[in-house]
Amino acid sequence: KLREYDAASSGFFDDISDLETNINTGLSQLQTDVAAFNGSFTIPSKKALNWTKAINTKWEKRTLVMDYVNTYGFDRATAETLYKLQEGILEKADKENWSNKKVLYEYNRLIASFAPDSYVSTRWKAICGTEEKEERDKLCKEYGLSSGDIETLEKGIVTQHTDSEVSKDFAHEAVQIAAFTEESWDFISTDNAVHNLSHIVNEGLEHEEISFKGDVDSGRYSDSDFNSDLDAINYYKRATADKADRDDIFTIGADYNSGISDNSINRVNEFYDNYDYSGIIFGWGKKSGEDVVEDIIEDETIGSNHISSPYSDDEKEKHKKDFYDYLERGEKKNVK
């Protein structure tokens, strides 16, 4: 970890000269206005205030890059490349007026496509829109990445995805978020048949089966997996809320991760809040999020029975207990 920090830290202040220039511009403007003060200030032109936009952009980039470094353990080069991909997608989103869901889908399906052994197969292509290498790389280049950038992501994302020491799995989060958007439907395609079948066999719980329920049913999980499950759900809800601005869609995630890190946000409580059911009318049928989550875990669908079929009843119960234990541990302090 110290070596990783040493490699990344050398670039922390690469942009300091640009920042100094913009701050000096602002100070000069302020001094000029104060010197000319005659009882009121004249608001500078939009062009004269370009330095504020430059500082805000630099700060946003720093926030996002440092989130990738601190939260996921990426090196600086990978973090910078992820930011570059985000900016390329947002540029197209602004031109074509994409919804927040479309932005989330495009970014996260590409991220998941960089973990092909896990997430590029018939099922994942249909549900999450992941792509084979050729199409993935073509899209990345359309969003401004170079061949070198793509190689950086290939190495960085797979390494992070397979690292058992990380507290959150970036690609695992990404594939869930892409699926939650339901943006992978084609007008007519065999993928639609696979997508429909997945909804049918999971009996309305497809999103949960891709997430926490699937981890429990499969018996393949860790605290890192559960962290990524809950965080994907919580972040997705925040990023697609009515008041969420498309331009802030990625900083919403960074701010959430920061809150998780310092425990100003509790992931388990927010997860339960997201599953609260207010009832049909006048509170009839109302259920707490905790009860709803338990119902989801206990529900035996065609899909869950298939996934959990290699295990005995005792083993299945242990998997459920492990998840409930994780939730209990995380109610007061976020699990690392």
d(CA 292, CA 310): 26
d(CA 55, CA 334): 33
d(CA 180, CA 173): 11
What DSSP string describes 59-71?
HHHHHHHHHHHHH
**How many Cβ atoms from other residues are within 10 Å of residue 33's Cβ?**
13
Q: What is the pLDDT of residues 160-208, one digit of tens each?
A: 999 988 899 999 999 999 999 999 876 556 666 666 767 677 678 889 9
d(CA 86, CA 61): 10
d(CA 169, CA 176): 11
Q: What is the pLDDT of residues 10-69, one digit of tens each?
A: 555 566 566 566 566 656 655 665 555 555 656 666 666 554 555 556 767 899 999 999
The pLDDT, as a whole number, for residue 117 is: 95
Q: Name the β-bridge partners of 287.
A: 277
The 3-state secondary structure of 73-98 reads CCCHHHHHHHHHHHHHHHHHHHHHCC
The pLDDT, as a whole number, for residue 50 is: 59
92 Cβ contact partners less than 8 Å away, ≥ 6 residues apart:
98, 142, 143
Going by the DSSP 8-state scheme, the letter that residue 216 receives in this structure is H
In whole numbers, what is the pLDDT of the chain averaged over residues? 87
pLDDT band, very low/low/confident/very high, at 1 (cuts 50, 70, 90): very low
Longest Cα–Cα distance of the chain, Å, equals: 83
d(CA 110, CA 89): 11
pLDDT, greater one: 217 or 195: 217
Structure tokens at 32: 């000029």
User: What percentage of the chain reaches a pLDDT higher than 90?
Assistant: 68
Helices and strands per DSSP (H, E), number in the chain = 19, 0
The pLDDT, as a whole number, for residue 148 is: 97
pLDDT band, very low/low/confident/very high, at 109 (cuts 50, 70, 90): very high
Calculated CA dihedral for residues 28, 34, 36, 42, nearest 10 degrees: 90
**How many Cβ atoms from other residues are within 10 Å of residue 325's Cβ?**
10
Entry pTM: 0.82
Element spanning 260, H or E? helix 249-261
Angle separating helix axes 76-96 and 147-161, nearest 10 degrees: 110
284 Cβ contact partners less than 8 Å away, ≥ 6 residues apart:
none
Mean pLDDT confidence for 255-261? 96
